[in-house]
Every structure is written in C-alpha cells, then in structure tokens.
C-alpha cells in the first residue's frame, strides 16, 4: 500500500514561510570554507545546524577533524553527525550534505548581496550563496522532521545525518571519517541518499545514478624574485605570465577538445545501447541556454550536449593566482603565477593515469618554450567518477516519491559535476547511494546570482519526506 502523505504535504505548505526564513538565516552565515578570514563563520554554521537538530530531538555528535594540513594555522570545521530515531523495527537511512559554500562578493557581479536571501515574489526565485548548494537541501531534511512533528505523523525511518563543512574546498578529512564510521555510527544504514545536485532542466525532476570525477591541478611558473615594474623591466626579463598563458593554451581548445595526448584513449567506448538512452531524456537546448544566459554552447543538439556533460571528460581553466585582477590598470610583471585547471573524468579514467598524462604533456610543452623560468605542476585534489544502478530498490522508492509530489516519472540521469563523497560512501558502507536533487539546472551554483526557486524548495521538502516514506516500505530487491 502506498504511503498516505497528504497530511505531511499540507503541513509543509503551512510552514513554508518559516522554512524560507530558516533558509534566509542560513544564507546569512558566510560559511566560505576556502577563505581563512571566513573560517570562523563555517564553525558558526555548524553551531546553527547543531542547535536546530537538538531542538528537533535528534542526537548530535560533533566530530573534529584537526588542523588543515595545507594551512596549519586553520582548524578544520567539524563533521556534524546526527541521529533521529532509534526504532529497530524501522529501516535506517543515511543522508549527507554540506554546510560550507563557495566564495561570493557583490563586486563579482551579483545583482544582490550574496549573503542576504533576496526573494523575488513575482518569479519565486530566492537568490543567495548556498541557497541551492547545499543549504536548501540540508535544511530540507530538518524541515521534513519538523513538518512530521507538527502534523502528528510518525516519522517513517531512523535517519542518520552526516553534514560536513569543507566540501567546497576538498572535503579534507571526510573520507577517513566515513571509512572509520562505516562500521560504527553508520553501521545500521541500509541505503544512502545525497541531495547535492540538480535537475537536468528547469521543469522535470530527475534521479542521478552517475557522476564525473575531478582532478584539479595547479601549474606554477616562477621567474624573478619579486614583482617588477613593466616600464623598467619590460623587454629585459622573461615574464612568467607569458610562459603560463602559453602552457594553458596547449591544454584544450574552444570546442572543448582536450589536447593532452593519450587522454581520450582512457575513456570507455560508447555502446549503441547507451547511446539510445539519451534520446528519451526530457531536455531542451533552451534549458541549457537559460542556464548559460546565452547561446554559447558547443554542440547544437541534445544528445551530443548531454554526452559532453556526462559521459565524456572535459578540461576547464579556472584562473590565475598571482596576477593583477582588480579594477583599474597596474603595470606589474608578476614574479610567480599559478594557473589552475581541472579535468572532469569518466569511466574508465583512473586518476593516476590521468596525472601521468598531464605531467608528461606539460613537461614536453615546457621544454618547447626554451624559457629560463621554472615550472612546477601538481595535483591539488582528486575525486573518482561514480556510476550506480538506477534499478536498485533505493532508486525505485525515490522514483515513486517523485511521482507522488510532481505527478511525473523522473528522468534517470548522470551528472557532469563531481561529488567524490558519493563513491566513498558506497565503498565504505557497501550500500547503494542515490542522488536526489532539489534544485534545477538554472540555479547557477558556484556562480553569481545563485538561487533556489520557492517551488523547488517547498516541493523538495515534500519530496525528501516522501522518499523516506517510500524507502521505508520498498521491497529490498537487488538489481
């Protein structure tokens, strides 16, 4: 018998204003994990979640992770472990999210203050850093608990929660904690659910069964001992920026073709059966254009666009550290510049093989420059790709939940982004991992004007609760 959810749905609607206010309070905390000056706000966000969880009657354990290895003056924010319910007659589900956010400054191009939730009542768009990535989904689980309590409806499962504060800066220390707790705090978990990704389009929900991995590199070119005046030294010194730009230009072209020899040979070949899967997915090129804010796509059709996002690797150049980037003009020759780029990896690209090809290529190109500067390339962090079975009972339950809330069957999709913790949970616990997104493709996570639509937030709270009801009773048939 299908769960009776109308009472829960009605309660979520009644509490929608308070749930939005709660999101506003969370967005107001600038928990930017990458910025040392804002690290204390990441701890403040951990306190915020702990207080809410305790008020809901959950148990909470803060797990300290020690000092950040790369920056020994900084303490890593804690992982918040929490449990709601301990009924041996109920299934136990483990959920994960993160409470840190990407950097954001008004001068980056935001239309509003990034740390004030700005609600456009006409469109229902709620703008603010972390609104969709990942504070909205994290609060969604807590809101689901509270709505059950206020509606007088029994919570269907024992819920284990794992919320970290370093996801946007490499998840330092998390893998070791998960491996340690797999047979301890997480030992009762029968399935895992993560809500930290997005719908493929803007209208139809999806469930995600695959992710690309990521290998993030730093390419350093060093020349003079200090920054120099270009009017005094220009033309008489070998400039590091010139060498760096030359090297970066050898990595990828403007059609997305990776220029590193041997890399494409690592990719699993496309089968005819897999190719057919892309035809039935609900996706319009206009969805992509809406997300881009332009029509600057590489491919003109759905199938090639989705394959480029999901099942083929990509290389992106992210920025240059050490170069002048502020408004105005500054005639400086930087002494050392660091180019930052990443490769999104796919089956069957093993990280160590990717590293070897990257280093080999850059060393070869460096020799061709015949420069007297010095070069160093290193891996910042890496996470492997992940693919699961969309036929697992965990996915079947989530599919029914989507139908109960949105009245449509979800698309089964892969995703171009990387959530390395997904693979870690799967390998450590031995349980199926489901990605159940709340936000849409137009949310601009990691970009300016990040937002979460009211509809996605409120209906998403309903979805998370409905999923827990369906997964509580779904026959555990392995496929």
Closest by alpha carbon to 229, among 335, 332, 322?
332
The two three-digit tokens of residue 226, written as one number: 């200090």
User: Is 100 known to be catalytic?
Assistant: yes
CA 58/CA 62 separation, integer angstroms: 13
Catalytic residue among 164, 167, 239, 243: 167
Instruction: Write out the DSSP string of 366-412.
Output: HHHHT-SSEEEEEEEEEE--EE--TTSHHHHHHHHHHHHHHSSPPEE
The two three-digit tokens of residue 437, written as one number: 């997104």
Q: Is 193 exposed, middle or buried (0-12, 13-18, 19+ CB in 10 A)?
A: buried
Helix (H, G, I), strand (E, B) or coil at 423: helix
User: Is 35 known to be catalytic?
Assistant: no
CA 32/CA 283 separation, integer angstroms: 33
User: Is the Cβ–Cβ distance between 30 and 129 less than 8 Å?
Assistant: yes
Instruction: Write out the DSSP string of 131-148.
Output: IIIIIHHHHHHHHHHHHH
Q: What angle do CA 448, 452, 458 make, to 5 degrees?
A: 170
Catalytic residue among 50, 68, 100, 239: 100
Query: Could you give the residue numbers annotated as active site?
Result: 100, 167
């Amino acid at each position: 018998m299908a769960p009776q959810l109308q009472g829960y749905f009605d309660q979520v609607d009644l509490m929608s204003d308070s749930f939005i206010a709660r999101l506003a309070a969370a967005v107001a905390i600038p928990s930017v994990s990458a910025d040392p000056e804002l690290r204390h706000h990441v701890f403040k966000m951990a306190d915020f979640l702990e207080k809410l969880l305790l008020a809901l009657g959950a148990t909470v354990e803060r797990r300290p992770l020690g000092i950040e290895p790369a920056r020994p003056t900084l303490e890593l924010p804690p992982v918040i472990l929490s449990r709601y319910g301990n009924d041996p007659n109920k299934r136990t589900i483990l959920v994960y999210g993160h409470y840190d956010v990407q950097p954001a400054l008004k001068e980056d191009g935001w239309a509003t203050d990034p740390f004030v939730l700005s609600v456009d009542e006409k469109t229902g768009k709620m703008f603010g850093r972390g609104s969709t990535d990942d504070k909205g989904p994290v609060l969604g689980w807590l809101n689901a608990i509270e709505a059950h309590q206020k509606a007088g409806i029994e919570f269907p499962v024992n819920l284990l929660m794992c919320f970290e504060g370093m996801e946007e800066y490499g998840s330092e220390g998390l893998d070791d904690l998960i491996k340690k707790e797999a047979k301890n705090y997480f030992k009762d978990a029968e399935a895992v659910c993560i809500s930290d990704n997005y719908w493929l389009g803007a209208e139809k929900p999806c469930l995600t069964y695959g992710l690309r991995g990521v290998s993030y590199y730093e390419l350093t070119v060093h020349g003079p001992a200090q920054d120099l005046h270009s009017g005094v030294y220009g033309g008489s010194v070998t400039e590091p920026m010139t060498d760096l730009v030359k090297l970066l230009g050898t990595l990828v072209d403007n059609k997305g073709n990776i220029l590193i020899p041997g890399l494409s040979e690592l990719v699993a070949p496309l089968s005819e059966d897999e190719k057919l899967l892309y035809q039935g997915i609900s996706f319009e090129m206009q969805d992509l254009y809406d997300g881009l804010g332009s029509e600057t796509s590489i491919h003109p059709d759905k199938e090639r666009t989705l394959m480029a996002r999901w099942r083929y690797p990509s290389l992106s150049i992210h920025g240059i550290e050490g170069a002048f980037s502020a408004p105005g003009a500054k005639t400086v020759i930087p002494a050392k510049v660091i180019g930052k780029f990443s490769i999104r990896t796919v089956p069957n690209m093993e990280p160590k093989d990717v590293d070897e090809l990257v280093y080999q290529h850059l060393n070869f190109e460096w020799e061709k420059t015949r420069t007297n500067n010095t070069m160093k390339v290193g891996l910042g962090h890496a996470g492997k790709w992940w693919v699961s079975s969309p036929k697992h009972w965990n996915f079947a339950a989530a599919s029914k939940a989507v139908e109960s809330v949105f009245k449509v069957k979800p698309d089964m999709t892969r995703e171009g982004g990387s959530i390395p913790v997904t693979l870690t949970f799967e390998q450590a616990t031995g349980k199926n991992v489901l990605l159940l997104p709340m936000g849409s493709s137009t949310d601009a996570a990691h970009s300016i004007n990040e937002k979460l639509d009211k509809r996605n937030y409120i209906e998403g709270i309903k979805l998370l609760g409905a999923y827990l009801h369906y997964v509580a009773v779904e026959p555990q048939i392995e496929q």
